Each structure stands twice: as C-alpha cells, then as structure tokens.
Amino acid sequence: MARPACLCVLAVLALLAAAAPAAARLHDPEALPEVRIQDLPYGDVLFYYYQGKDFEAATRLLAYQHWSSLPHHESDAHLLLGGLYLSLGMYDRADQAFEQLLTSDVPTGVRNRAWLFLGQALYARGQYAEAERDLIRISGRMSPDLESQKELLLANVWMREGKFDRAAQLLSSWRGTQQGWTAYARLNLGIALVRQGRLAEAAPVLTSVGTMYALAPEMLAIKDRANLALGVAYLQARQSAQARVALDRVRLEGPFSGDALLAAGWAQAADGNYRAALTPWLALHGRSPLDRSVQEAYLTVPYAFVELKAPGQAAQYYRTALRSYDEESARIDGAIARVRSGGLLTQLLTHEADSPGAVIAGNDPMNDDALPDRLSYGWFWQLGNVPDDPESHYLYAVFAGPDFQEGLRNYRDLKLMERMLRQWSISMDAFQEMIAARHRAYAERLPNVDAMLASGRLAGLKQRRAALADRLAQVGRTRDVTALATPQERAQWARVLRVQTRLAHDPDTPSYAALRERLRVVRGVLLYRMDREFAARLWHERRELRTIDLALGRARERWTGLESGRQALPTETGNFAGRVGALQQRIGVLQARLAVAEAAQSRSLADLAVHDLEQRKKRLQGYRVQAQFALATIYDQAARAGGGGKPSRAPARPIPAPGAPQP
C-alpha cells in the first residue's frame, strides 16, 4: 500500500489543483463566490503555485497579506496558504491556517475543504484518530471529486486504525471520479478484506482491479499489486491453483515481478511440482541480486533440486548462493564504508545538480527558473539520479526507502534554503549601497531644496494669482472693457485719451469742434469694438485663470512633496538602513542554524542508511547460514551414502524472509 504521506501529497495536489483555478475561472460549489481574479497579486501567487514553486508562492502570499493586497480573496488565500504549508511540510502552520477558516462566517464549502486539508495533514503525520475526527466534521456532501477523496482518506484512516470492517463497508459503496482513485480504493478494500480473513469477499474485488484495462504505468503497477496480493492470499490459504491464476497475470517486467515469480514458484511447490517451480525461480536467478526475492531464489532453486533428488545440482546452486551472498555482503560493506566516509550526500546532490534538467535553487526574482519548486523542493522531490557504480546501486534501494527519502528531502530543503539566504545576503550588500547612495544624493541636493523652500516662491505665486483673480472679478463687475483690450487697442485707446486731454485745453473754434467730433467717433468705434469682444475676452481670461489654478495645484503638490520628502527622507533612509541591518543579522543567525541542522541531518541520514544496509547484511547472513546448513546436509548425505551410513534428514525448506510478499 502507498505510504500515508504519498497519498496525502497526491490528494492535496489534486484538491488544490481543483480548488484554485476553479476560484479563478469556473463555478465550483467548493469555491468562494468570486469567479474571477479580483486582486491581481492573488493571481501572481497562483502563477507561482501552478508552476509548483510553493516556497515562492507562500513568500509572495505572505507579503501580499502584509500589504493587505488581497481584500477580495481573503479566505481563498488562507486556504491556499494552508495547502502550501502542507506541501512544504510545515504542518503546525498548516493547522493554524486551516483553523482560521473554521469560523461561522466562512462559506460551508470552504470550511469543508479546510477540514479535509486538516484531515490529510493529520493522516500524513500518523495522527489517525484526529484525522478521523476532522473528516467526520465535514458537513453535507461536497463536490463529487472532493467527496470521493474524503471517503478514500477516511477508509485509509480506518484501515490504519485496524477498523477493516468499517473501511470495507465504506469502500464497497465508494465511487471515485477518476480511474486511478477507483482502482486504488478497490485495491485497498481487497487488502483490507484479506487481512480480515475474508478471502472469498476480497477475491472478486482484487480480481476486478487485476483484470482492468490499463495503459498508464501507474495503473499497470496497481494491477500487478492486486494480482500479487490475491495470489499470495490464495497461497496462504493453501489454494495454489487459484494463486497461480492470479500470479500469472503479473507482468514479467514490473515493480512486483520479483515477488510474483517467487510466489509463483511456491504455488507450484505447494502441489509438489518442483520441476515447474524451477521455471519462475530460475528466471529470478538472472536478475539483480539487490532484489530480496532474487536473494531468496538463490535458496529456493537448490531446495527444488533437492526435492527432485538432484543433490549435485542443488549443491552447485547452494555454492553459487554462498558466493553471491558473500559478494553482496562485500558490496554492502563497501556501501557502508562510503556512507560513513561522509561524502555520500554531497556526491548525490552534486550528481543531481549536474544532471540534465536539474533545477538550480535561488531567489533571483529576475530568474524564475532559479526558484525552488515543488518538483525539486519539499515533499514532492524524488531522487532521480544515483551515481552509476555497483555500491551506489546497492544504495539506491536504501535511498528509495521512505524514511531516507523524507530525510533526504529535508536535507535538500536545508541546502536550498541555505543557497537562497546566501543570495539574499549578496542582495543586502547591494541594498546597503543603494541606501548610502540615496543618502549622498540627499545631502548633495539638500542646499538647493532648502533654498527653494526658503524662497517662498509658491506663496508669491499664490498672491499674484489671488490679485489677478480679484482684478478679473472687478473688470467683470465694472465691465471695464479697456482692461481686456488687445495691445493695439490699448495703444489706440491711450492715444484717444491723450488727444482728448489736449483738445480739452484748445479753444472752442469750428476747426477744433470738427476735430473733437472726429475724436468722439473714433472713441466710439474703439469702445464699440472692445465692448463687442469683452464677453469672449472675459471668458478666455477666466479659462486662463483656471489653467493657472491647475498648474498652481500641481506646483503645490510638488512643493508639499518636497517639504515632506525633506522631512521624511532621512527617516525613511534610516528605517531602510535599520531594516537591512536587522535582516542581515537574521540571515546570519539562520545561516548558522541551517549549517547545524544540515550537519545533523547529514549524520542522521548516514545513520539511517547504515542501519538499513546492516539490516540487509543481516538478512543475507541469515540466508547464508541456511545455504551453508543445506550444503552441509547434502555433503553429509553424500558421504553417508558413499560410506553406507544412515542418511541424515533432508535440507530444510528455505524460510521466507521477513519481508516476503504479504497481501
């Protein structure tokens, strides 16, 4: 059965993938009422989330929350943040994030999803009772996809708790929305029934999975797993004929083929068909000796020859087995020495970084590909490349173990975080330089700014504007047409006034009277023209005044900005400098903590690998003792037969290893 963490990860991925785009695009009963992105920063978070860059997505989401930039997506953001914490392995924070959503003012659909997330988080940590409690709190039915995921998770919880009856009852009516989930659930149901000793009920369930139509590698593996489980269950129930039918359905090349071949041999041997049993067991002989089933086949093949009364061949195969066990033991010793030398992880990660498509971690905002992502960071990272040499191949099996994988992921997380902080540390130096440059620029410009602010130019302009407005109002009120005259008209009007003054002092003769009459006509014409244009000119002047008002308004804004900048800039620069200093200190502290954690994690991984390898060596030693004993028995029998003595008992039937296939 899949590991709980793996299941959780799959479920969270599926759930989040179903949730967030729905919020953005389509109507989904689980989503908040919004059907489109209303805050662009939330879309920015999703952009990183959908690329699997969970650390960057979480960083940005927290930053946008800090700036209150997500007012329309508050609940969605909390839900997403909880999911991101989960995928980053930060369970405590995930709990907090989800619990914030478990209030009455959050829509039921969102609350249900929070309960489901919480249940998954608890399940991944092995807190099955708490996971069950939270899953049962989900009220009403969710969308078909989420409902099926909830039921599958609940069934898994019950199976982990040993409540197979309840799990079987739930899964018997379970209908998944995707073939993978359905097959997986039915496989789990079949296994649960077998463990309860209800083979008759389990058989049709496992047979239906084992005979389903499948093309995808994952589906084919599930098929093989179901057939193997059924075959072994039949074998244990001493129904070897049925066992063979199920085991024959397992592919010859696949993750379960070794165990299936071993079990197929035992299914023949159970009926005394040792010759037939040799076929699958000898097929295992040519395979990699790293496989436990292959190691076991080194014992079962000679055992079959003994049963077929062919002690010579049996002895030959036992000797081969002993040689193989010794070689493997030596390789394990080499692998242990290599792990203890301390260079294993460095070599492993260096090899990975050199491999094509390796993702280089960092936090350069200009280089998206430098960001850690879900595929290379956190819980979803899988070991893709192992150095290509015999010892490493032995280590591969250790690396693939769940405990080592989890530890290795943590180690790699630490490495990525350390690299990220190193990059930030470089940025901090640049920020400090920038702040210093701003400070210098401020000092250089300060005298000019002070001179400008002290000049009172803005106040002077405001006064002039006020005077102009008063004058215009007066002109309008008194209809002073000459005040708005053109320069030419103004010159003509001045001339008329000058002539008028002179004529006022001249005698009252007919010639002067004629001049006065002409002047009166000219004056009248001029006044008429100015009066005719007065309204348009007054409107134009008022419009000009409004333009001046706008310009003055902008000048006032800039003046105010200058004044406040003059006051605030030293404080702001000082604040930034203080923040940079404080953050540099935090970077230093965390870098030290990361170094300590890295060393501890490296030691822990080495211990884990050594422990695993020693266990393997111990198992090989057990096989070796059995082979030695059987070989000695054959020699003993041969000697007695040659010397006419009483034959001793036959070699013992090989003891299946503790890790032998279980349904």
Partner 1 sequence: MQSLKSDVLDLNRDLFVLEQELLYPANTQVAVFVSMDAGTFFSLDTVQLKIDGKEVANYLYTPREVHALVQGGVQRLYVGNLKVGKHELVAFFTGKGPHDRDYTRGASLEFRKDIGAKYLELTITDDQGKLQPQFRIKNWE
Tokens of 8: 């959780």
Site string for partner 1, 251-280 (x = CB under 8 A): ------------------------------
What are the two backbone dihedrals, phi and then psi, of residue 280, each rounded to the nearest 5 degrees?
A: -65, -35
423: nearest Cα among 383, 371, 499, 379: 371
Which residue is associated with the tokens 């030959």? Answer: 316
Query: Can you tell me whether residue 214 is helix, strand or coil?
Result: coil
Residue number with CB closer to partner 1 (103 or 382): 382
Contact between 179 and partner 1 by CB under 8 A: the answer reads no
Contact between 240 and partner 1 by CB under 8 A: the answer reads no
Contact between 89 and partner 1 by CB under 8 A: the answer reads yes
Contact between 603 and partner 1 by CB under 8 A: the answer reads no
Residue number with CB closer to partner 1 (8 or 235): 8
Stretch binding partner 1 (CB under 8 A), from 37-45, 130-138, 344-352, 506-514? 37-45
CA pair distance 601, 139, nearest whole angstrom: 42
**601 and 407 Cβ atoms separated by less than 8 Å:** yes
CB of 611 to partner 1, least distance (A): 20
| Given 2, 14, 18, 21, the residue binding partner 1 (CB under 8 A) | 21
**Residues in CB range of 143: below 8 A, 6 or more apart:** 18, 28, 29, 30
Angle formed at CA 89 by CA 86 and CA 90, multiple of 5 degrees? 75
Stretch binding partner 1 (CB under 8 A), from 38-46, 473-481, 536-544, 652-660? 38-46
CB of 126 to partner 1, least distance (A): 15
**Residues in CB range of 68: below 8 A, 6 or more apart:** none
CB of 663 to partner 1, least distance (A): 35
CB of 23 to partner 1, least distance (A): 8
Instruction: Give buried/exposed letters for 109-145 (b at 16+ CB in 10 A, else e).
Output: bbbbbbbbbbbbbbbbeebbebbbebbeebeeebbeb
Contact between 381 and partner 1 by CB under 8 A: the answer reads no
| Given 91, 396, 493, 559, the residue binding partner 1 (CB under 8 A) | 91
Residue number with CB closer to partner 1 (496 or 608): 608
Residue number with CB closer to partner 1 (118 or 222): 118
Contact between 25 and partner 1 by CB under 8 A: the answer reads yes
**42 and 70 Cβ atoms separated by less than 8 Å:** yes
Distances (CA, A) of 446 to 145, 436, 569, 570: 65, 15, 11, 11
| Given 58, 267, 395, 485, the residue binding partner 1 (CB under 8 A) | 58
CA pair distance 78, 95, nearest whole angstrom: 11
Tokens of 102: 């478990």
Instruction: Tell me 319's DSSP state.
Output: H
Contact between 92 and partner 1 by CB under 8 A: the answer reads yes
Contact between 48 and partner 1 by CB under 8 A: the answer reads yes
Query: Can you tell me whether residue 245 is helix, strand or coil?
Result: helix
Stretch binding partner 1 (CB under 8 A), from 18-26, 218-226, 459-467, 502-510? 18-26
| Given 275, 457, 593, 640, the residue binding partner 1 (CB under 8 A) | 593
Tokens of 353: 């970084």
CA dihedral 251, 253, 256, 258 (to 10 degrees): 110
Residue number with CB closer to partner 1 (211 or 567): 567
Stretch binding partner 1 (CB under 8 A), from 4-12, 33-41, 179-187, 211-219? 33-41
Stretch binding partner 1 (CB under 8 A), from 90-98, 147-155, 171-179, 286-294? 90-98
CB of 3 to partner 1, least distance (A): 18
CA pair distance 291, 312, nearest whole angstrom: 26
| Given 99, 369, 544, 563, the residue binding partner 1 (CB under 8 A) | 369
By CB under 8 A, what part of segment 528-567 binds partner 1?
557
Contact between 40 and partner 1 by CB under 8 A: the answer reads yes
| Given 13, 383, 519, 587, the residue binding partner 1 (CB under 8 A) | 587
| Given 304, 397, 594, 605, the residue binding partner 1 (CB under 8 A) | 594
User: Within a 10 A sphere around the Cβ of 72, how many other Cβ atoms?
Assistant: 15
**282 and 268 Cβ atoms separated by less than 8 Å:** no
| Given 88, 192, 206, 277, the residue binding partner 1 (CB under 8 A) | 88
By CB under 8 A, what part of segment 402-461 binds partner 1?
410, 413-414, 417, 420-421, 424, 427, 431, 434-435
CA dihedral 112, 118, 122, 125 (to 10 degrees): 140
User: Within a 10 A sphere around the Cβ of 494, how many other Cβ atoms?
Assistant: 12
CA pair distance 262, 37, nearest whole angstrom: 57
| Given 33, 63, 426, 470, the residue binding partner 1 (CB under 8 A) | 63
Contact between 66 and partner 1 by CB under 8 A: the answer reads yes
Contact between 93 and partner 1 by CB under 8 A: the answer reads yes
| Given 519, 583, 610, 650, the residue binding partner 1 (CB under 8 A) | 583
Contact between 47 and partner 1 by CB under 8 A: the answer reads yes
- The one-letter amino acid at 602: S
Residue number with CB closer to partner 1 (81 or 397): 81
Stretch binding partner 1 (CB under 8 A), from 51-59, 97-105, 344-352, 619-627? 51-59
Which residue is associated with the tokens 């239906």? Answer: 208
C-alpha atoms less than 13 angstroms from C-alpha of 189 in its C-beta half-sphere:
27
Distance of CA 69 to the CA centre of its chain: 21
Contact between 19 and partner 1 by CB under 8 A: the answer reads no
Residue number with CB closer to partner 1 (592 or 632): 592
Instruction: Give buried/exposed letters for 457-483 (b at 16+ CB in 10 A, else e).
Output: ebeebeeeeeeeeeebeebbeeeebbb
Tokens of 443: 């000092």
For the stretch 240-243, contacts whose Cβ atoms lie closer than 8 Å and that sit 24 or more positions apart, written own/partner, are 240/267, 240/268, 240/270, 240/271, 241/271, 242/203, 243/267, 243/270
384: nearest Cα among 374, 372, 376: 376
Distance of CA 109 to the CA centre of its chain: 23
Stretch binding partner 1 (CB under 8 A), from 54-62, 312-320, 502-510, 529-537? 54-62
Contact between 18 and partner 1 by CB under 8 A: the answer reads no
CB of 339 to partner 1, least distance (A): 21
CB of 118 to partner 1, least distance (A): 16
Residue number with CB closer to partner 1 (410 or 626): 410
Total site size for partner 1, rule CB under 8 A? 58
Contact between 599 and partner 1 by CB under 8 A: the answer reads no
* Positions that interact with partner 1 (CB under 8 A): 20-21, 23-25, 37, 40-44, 46-52, 55, 58-60, 62-63, 66-67, 88-93, 363, 365, 368-369, 410, 413-414, 417, 420-421, 424, 427, 431, 434-435, 557, 576, 579-580, 583, 586-587, 590, 593-594, 597
